Structure 1
Amino acid sequence: MFFRHTLEQRGVRTPDDFLPQYRAAAARLGLTNTEPAPKTVEGWLYSGRKPQRPFRPVIVEMLGYSIDDLWTDVPEGTTPAFAPLTGTSPTAPHADADVDLNEMKRTGTMAVRRAKEFLLGKDRETVGDDTLGLLDDEVTRLVTAYPRQPLSTLWDDLLDTQEQVFRLLEGGRVRPSQLRDLNIKAAVLSFLVAKGFNDMETPHQAMTMTRVAASCARDAEHPGLIALSDGLKSLIAYWADKPEDAYHYAGQGAATAADLRGTVGLWLLGLQARAAAVLGDAETVHAANQQAADRRERVVPDDLDRLGGLFTYAPEKQLYYTVESEALLGHGNPQLAAQAEQAVQDFSDPSAPNWAFGDLAGSQCDLALIRLFSGDVDGAAEAIRPVLDLPTSHRNNGIVVSALRVRHALMSSPAHTAAAARDLRAEIEAFPVSRPALPRG
């Protein structure tokens, strides 16, 4: 069993060894009254018994691997190759160390105020190439890390880097040849900060920062970033349950991106399809998804695609969006179920370049929905299980909303009175309650 193998690698062989580390992990999560009895730990260690659900988040936090990986048999003498969950491994800085959601919102609010001042009073002129090189490295790191790590591990660096770029733009030391590059950096960083506010469930702040990103994109005369800013407005409205606004912003961005060859135009079509699905407009859903599929054949990667992260729309993400739009229409046929399973599979490898924990969780929730619509409650529970086992550091706004959609579908399912459906519904109800949107200290 990988669970026992992992503990033995750390010198943990008895309940007395195990419990102090378990208590420390529970404290990091802010959980109380979840300590197992020594006899219970013995069952996990020596009998291979799988822990009950209240104990699982603490074990995941403690060891840094999913419950399914930990309770996988490992042949004697072999070295397992399971990938640790980003931000939960005890060998890496804990995602929730010294971080409080209210403090993150406070510092973020200061950044919005600062950005407003920048937007209202920017004055720029002519910085060394070394400074720009350092900023290039930091922007690349943050863009790459954002979809893969909890926001709390990146937030301070993100705000600091944005502040540095703003200072350069305002400082009167920028050469005209550097101005466009710095405005592009400011747009990219403001985009990420806005996405962070959305993940923290503060849509007003997110929308304000998106407008800053759009202003910088216009100053850089970069149509791709301008279109992306409209896409982010659509995304914020979508997760805030404002589908009409989401559809409007996606259409506005799609018009800007109509002649672009990169993937930004495809993302905007995907956003249109999802918003139309919430509005019940199946004809628009299918038309937008078909147009995106046709355009995929003609994509020529641009500078945003080369940047990667949230700035490219990979084929696996396109499939995830397509499946989600169909799930939102209430569909659940075998062909769609196969597509949903493929979407989950496409995000199953954390080492893949386009992997994102949020996209994986979203695709797992969509698979659960589609299985529910075909009457398969047990299959839905199996699909959403990895989402419900996520540590609190990974439970951002989009993931919580996606999980709650499954709960809503359970309530209207013909099987809603079955014991399995009731248990799953209760567990999903507890999912957002036990997390402060992002980790706390």
Structure 2
Amino acid sequence: MTRSAEGVGDAVLFFRYTCEARGLRHPDDFLAKYREAAARLGLQNADEPAPKTVEGWLYEGRKPQRVFRPVIVEMLGHGIEALWTEVPEGTAQQFVPLAGASPTAPHADAGVGLDDMKRTGAMAVRRAKEFLLGADRERVGEDTLGLLDDEVQRLVAAYPREPLSVIWDDLLETQEQVFRLLEGGRVRPSQLRDLNVKGAMLSFLVAKGFNDMEVPHQAMTMTRVAAACAKDAEHPGLIALTYGLKSLIAYWADRPEDAYHYAGQGAATAADLRGTVGLWLLGLRARAAAVLGDEETVRAINQQAADRREHVVHDDLDELGGLFFYAPEKQLYYAVEAEVLLGHGDARLAAQAEQAVQGFSDPSSPSWAFGDLAGSRCDLALVRLFGGDLDGAAEAVRPVLDLPASHRNNGIVVSTMRIRHALMSSPARTAAVAQDLRAEIEAFPVGRPALPRG
């Protein structure tokens, strides 16, 4: 059981616990890492706390001023509210961050030596991959396909969990390797379908990346590449998925008519499929219908999706996971969002919205995704705001506003801006909490979302 850390006395804050685990016991050590985090955020001449201020954070439980919070979140990978929570005596408290739960992220400062070893090791692995891919000059060998299998599975699993900047280069490189093999004329007929499936999956992820970077034209072009590969592979599930991705791109680009149209095409394509892709397309269609204000269609589609969930038989895409599996918690999140877009905020929907957030509360779950957790929190904030609970809305969105800039993709930014628009038309818009929250949201996208550095 934990409680707020304001005036905690001798209790140990998770902030201090995390700093000490990383060897940051002195303000000078802390400030060195603080400057590195500020540089990663692209903050030139960033405000820097005084050593005495850092000591107050570490040893007196003082909360940092808002100007310092984005850098601290980037530095430690946890939201401010989580960091300023007590760690129960004698235990290692388990926190649920919106970011920083990547299976590949270091949990402590590994030191320069280890960083150098990892960097030179990665270069060796890259060179070995190039050797293997070039060795099969006459034909594509099974080792090459196995290597690509491993890489595709890794990237599919990592995409919802990692900031785009971490995987972008590997994603583009692996796609290029698959295209090179397809163009090289060294592929056996039995290997052709497999490579086209990989090409479709990788192009799907690259297209999603462009959408997260708010480049809808490039995202749509790459989706058409994914669709071409899926058709060459004669894979109905992947073909349906590409329609879904077109709908998703249109939805976040504020083109609900197109989003509804593409989702309908995909749903027709997936009508006879038993996997979860058909459910995703129904969810996409319901959300688009909600933006269009068609409440009757929203209810009918969501009911159809609920009925269909009971008859799902997982297919090869579901087994792959990541963005290719539409989990029950994601279905609930989409259903809640459709109701929110219609402007609803009753007690029943509030309970469902809280359940959707809870569904993404365990970072060890295969279906965990920082974007879905952030989106479900934004929906919960809107439900509470529509229901007149301004403080509850602020509490729900707080961890989202604490996200480091590397995780602020287009969907998250758009979702937070919906809260800002709702605040402006709320009866409570003149309240101090509403004005402060609106100002924070306006500042949130300034660092720009999730762009690969360089």
State the TM-score, normalized to the length of structure 2: 0.87
Q: Is the alpha carbon distance of 1:439 and 1:420 closer, same or farther for their aligned partners in structure 2, counting shifts above 3 Å?
A: farther
Q: Which amino acid aligns with 1:211?
A: R
Residue 50 of structure 1 aligns to a residue in which SS?
Answer: coil
Q: Aligned to 1:12, which of 17, 24, 28?
A: 24
Give the direction of change, closer, same or farther, for the CA distance of 1:141–1:391 in structure 2 (3 Å limit).
same
Match of residue 244 from structure 1: 257
Structure 1 residues 160-186: Cα deviation after superposition (integer angstroms, max 9, x where no partner): 111111111111111111111111111
CA distance in structure 2 between the partners assigned to 1:180 and 1:439 by the alignment: 31
* 1:134-283 correspondence to structure 2 within 5 Å: 134-283=147-296
Contact 1:392 1:439 in 2 (8 A): no
CA deviations 1:312-367 (Å, max 9, x no partner) are 10000000000000000000000000000000010011111100000000000000
CA offsets, 1:221-260, max 9 Å, x none? 1111111000000000000000000000000000000010
Who is 2:37 aligned against? 25
Shift of 1:429: 0.4
Distance 2:182 2:142 in 1: 14
Alignment of 1:9-408 (within 5 A): 9-31=21-43, 32-82=45-95, 85-86=100-101, 91=108, 127-408=140-421
Preserved CA contact (<8 Å) 2:207 2:222: yes
Q: Provide the secondary structure at the position in 2 that maps to 1:154.
A: helix
Provide Cα deviations, 1:146-173, integer angstroms capped at 9, x if missing partner: 0000111111111111111111111111
TM-superposed CA distance for 1:440, in Å, is 3.6
Aligned residues of 1:364 and 1:387 also touching (Cα < 8 A): yes
For the pair 1:426 / 2:430, whether they are aligned, the reply is no
Contact 2:332–2:356 (Cα < 8 Å) also in 1: yes
Task: Please say if residues 410 and 449 of structure 2, whose CA atoms lie closer than 8 Å, have aligned partners that are also in contact.
Answer: no
Q: Which secondary structure does the structure 1 equivalent of 2:187 belong to? A: coil
Larger displacement relative to structure 2 (279-288 or 65-74): 65-74
- Secondary structure of the residue aligned to 1:81 is coil
The amino acid that maps onto 1:415 is: A
Residue 451 of structure 2 corresponds to which residue in structure 1?
A: 438
Q: Cα distance, 1:439 vs. partner? A: 5.3
Partner of 1:120: none
- Secondary structure of the 1:425 match is helix
Q: What SS is found at the alignment partner of 2:160? A: coil
Q: What are the superposed Cα offsets for residues 256-298 of structure 1, whole Å, 9 maximum, x if unpaired?
A: 0001000111000000000000000001111110000000000
Separation in 1, partners of 2:107, 2:21? 13
Which sits farther off after the overlay, 20-29 or 32-41?
32-41
Counterparts of 1:238 and 1:405, CA distance in 2 = 14
Separation of aligned partners in 2, 1:434 and 1:80: 31
8 A Cα contact 2:271 2:278, kept in partner? yes
Amino acid at match of 2:38: A
Cα distance change of structure 1 residues 300 and 436 upon mapping to structure 2, 3 Å threshold = closer
- Gap runs ≥5 in structure 2: 1-12, 116-137
Deviation at 1:92, TM superposition (A): 7.8
How far residue 20 of structure 1 moved from its aligned partner, in angstroms, is 2.2
Cα drift, residue 63 of structure 1: 2.0
Native 8 Å contact 2:139 2:186 kept in 1: yes
Match of 2:254, SS state, is coil
Contact conserved, 1:63 with 1:90, CA < 8 A, in 2?
Answer: no
Q: Which residue of 1 aligns with 2:132?
A: none
- Gap change, CA 1:193 and 1:36, over 3 Å in 2: same
Distance 2:91 2:109 in 1: 24
CA distance in 2, matches of 1:16, 1:180: 57
Deviation at 1:27, TM superposition (A): 1.7
Q: How far 1:26 sits from its partner (Å)? A: 1.3
Paired letter, 1:295: R
Q: CA deviation at 1:381?
A: 0.5
Shift of 1:10: 3.2
| Structure 2 Cα separation of the partners of residues 53 and 372 of structure 1 | 23
Identity %: 81
Q: Distance in 1 between matches of 2:452 and 2:184?
A: 36
Question: TM-score, with normalisation over the residues of structure 1?
Answer: 0.90
Q: Deviation digits for residues 84-118 of structure 1, max 9, x if unmatched?
A: 6146757489xxx9xxxxxxxxxxxxxxxxxxxxx
1:397-417 deviations in whole A, cap 9, x for unaligned?
000000000000001111111
**Match of 1:210, SS?**
helix
Structure 1 contact 63–89 (Cα < 8 Å) conserved: no
The alignment covers a number of residue pairs equal to 411
Is this contact kept in 1: 2:165–2:450, CA < 8 A?
A: no
